[in-house]
Structure 1
Amino acid sequence: MNFTDLQVFRAVVEAGGIVKAAQKLHRVPSNVSTRIRQLESSVGIPLFHRDRQRLYLSPGGELLLGYAERLISLSDEARHVVSGAAPQGVLKLGALESTAASRLSGILADFHRRYPDVRLELTTGTNDALVSAVAERRLDAAFIAEPPSARGLAHLPVFRENLVVISSEDHPPVASARDAEGQSLIAFPDGCAYRRVLQRWLKRESLAASRVLELSSYHAIVACVAAGAGIALMPEAVLDAMPQARVRRNRIPRAQGKLVTPLIWREGEISPPVQALRTLMASVVKGSARNGARRLEKAGK
């Protein structure tokens, strides 16, 4: 299997045909056709279904495309690392909405200043959706809520989150799960790690039997809680970023309320932009640890 054949194969897939791929690659169409036939011969199966002037991937072609993209990506990564060139290209990054709103503005601005040749695309979603997107190569890396259980993913712990139950200001204090009995719950849809924390705190297998208002925006959740629609669980850092929020913060036990959230990426496939982000986050973590040690030292004096 020739590496150049794989590059040509991917170009044909992206272009949707031989002629357009030839134009993109600055080759003659006959050369591109020959490369595709050579690749099909080497793997022993047809890679395309041919319908007039259009090519459609066969099931075998679909499988090979994933491997081709990985090999080409690794080749690009090796070339950049060996050459010492600054990271460039696209970094497809995912994050929880809470993390994006309360943690990432300064970090992403710093990353952009350091690596101006990297175009950063940020996608928000639930914990489980982000994990799947990284595993399936739709995202390069993601900030999620808990260490991943999926195999093949590496992670770096980055943010310490303190989760609190919020209620309206005139609501009686919520000191235990018993105080939440009969209350409407406001939460992100299934797939949210904080929703699972809420379930564990309430000692429930699911929220199916509860009155649940599902929302996908923390601003909407806070507004509904403030209006007395129910109670919700969220990171305190999000509330700190909403000084206008008129809600009561109720503490929950440390076992459920304290989380260290990670940055994840595919193990063994760290691209130069992801490596740059990981290095930046490692320095942020070290800086936070030093600041915490200084505060403890001052408190002890």
Structure 2
Amino acid sequence: MTRLIDPVLLRSLATVVRSRSFSRAAEQLGLRQSTVSQHVQRLEAQLGRRLLLRTTHSLGLTPEGEAVLAFARSVLDAHERLERTLAGGAVRGRLRFGASEDFVQSRLSEVLRDFRAAYPSVDLELSVALTGLLNDALARGELDLVLGKRHVGETKGVLVRRDRLAWVGLPQAAPERGEPVSLVTFPPPSITRAIALAALTAESRPWRITCTCAGLSGLRAAALAGVGVMVQPRSLIPDGLQDLAGSDLPRLADVEFVLDGPGLRREPGRTLAHEILNAEIWD
């Protein structure tokens, strides 16, 4: 090769792989889907290697693509470290950030830690609650940026990732066919609660709510005690609990993780949004 590889092309490849979709990658990057596709094609042409295996229903990496992705991540990480170094003194102010309860137990803390280290002049105010309550606070002007969930098909917010919901708990807590489903759940207006009840109702499955708690730690404790089963995104299954995929429970819809709020368009929220969109916090 006689030319350096454009980091823009590498970013498009990495985003496509992370989001598992050209359309979702385009939404995250603020580009047209055709532009993202052209970026990947240009990268493949420049390298003389096929990087992605695309079919009607799936998208994966070739062995060469795996190698290039590892290289791309290191290059993009170096670029982002340079940007943080140059912008650290310029990004300042107060950021009122709301995160859905699910994410507190995930690797979101790593993103916030890195953000605080890179931008010490930003005063971060963190609120943790159900997505519906966070959206209400956002509408009242009490938050700048929210990381929450939405139903598939909704358009509010910037898509971060789509994940499948799963029934989780102890194997012995899974009900036999015909038995009522004992449900451990967040209170309304929980999106995962609404999806779970809709799935049970659609199959005319009897159910009863055996535990309601606004905190994920409380739900996890109840599920670990065998009080019932709960619903969580597969990427956020709490430690000690299992995906009950083989049990006689109805299939659940997907859920989407999104960022929303005026902070997407101004600092310091725009910088934190960029960090979240480009972090591998669900791997």
Tell me the distance in 2 between the aligned counterparts of 1:281 and 1:188: 24
Instruction: Give the secondary-structure state (helix, strand or coil) at the position aligned to 1:186.
Output: strand
Deviation at 1:221, TM superposition (A): 1.4
User: Which residues in structure 2 correspond to 1:222-241 (within 5 Å)?
Assistant: 222-239=220-237
Contact 1:147 1:261 in 2 (8 A): no
1:165-184 equivalences under 5 Å are: 165-172=167-174, 179=177, 181-184=179-182
Q: Is residue 163 of structure 2 the alignment partner of residue 161 of structure 1?
A: yes
Structure 2 distance, partners of 1:199, 1:223, is 21
Percent identity over paired residues: 24
Q: Is the 8 A contact 2:200 2:250 kept in 1?
A: no
* 2:116 aligned residue (107, 112, 116): 112
- Aligned partners of 1:90 and 1:120 also within 8 Å: yes
Answer yes or no: is 1:279 the counterpart of 2:274. Answer: yes
Amino acid at match of 1:233: V
Verify the 8 A CA contact 2:97 2:146 in the aligned structure 1: yes
Distance 1:148 1:139 in 2: 24
CA displacement 1:110-130 (0-9 Å, x = unmatched): 211221110111111111101
Deviation at 1:224, TM superposition (A): 1.4
Distance (Å, rounded) in 1 between the aligned partners of 2:90 and 2:185: 41
Q: Which residue of 1 aligns with 2:95?
A: 91
Residues 190 and 154 of structure 1, relative CA distance in 2, 3 Å threshold = closer
1:180/1:124 CA distance change after superposition, 3 Å: farther
- Whether the aligned pair in 2 keeps the contact of 1:154 and 1:265 (CA below 8 Å) is no
Q: Which amino acid aligns with 1:163?
A: L
Contact persistence 1:131–1:148 (CA under 8 A): no
Q: Which has the larger radius of gyration?
A: 1
Quote the offset at 1:212 in angstroms.
4.1
Does the 8 Å contact 1:135/1:266 carry over to 2? no
Q: 1:229 to 1:85 in 2, by over 3 A?
A: closer
Gaps of 5+ in 1: 1-83, 292-301
Structure 2 portions without partners, runs of 5+: 1-87
Aligned to 1:196: 194
2:160, 2:93 → 1: CA distance? 24
Q: 1:229 to 1:253 in 2, by over 3 A?
A: closer
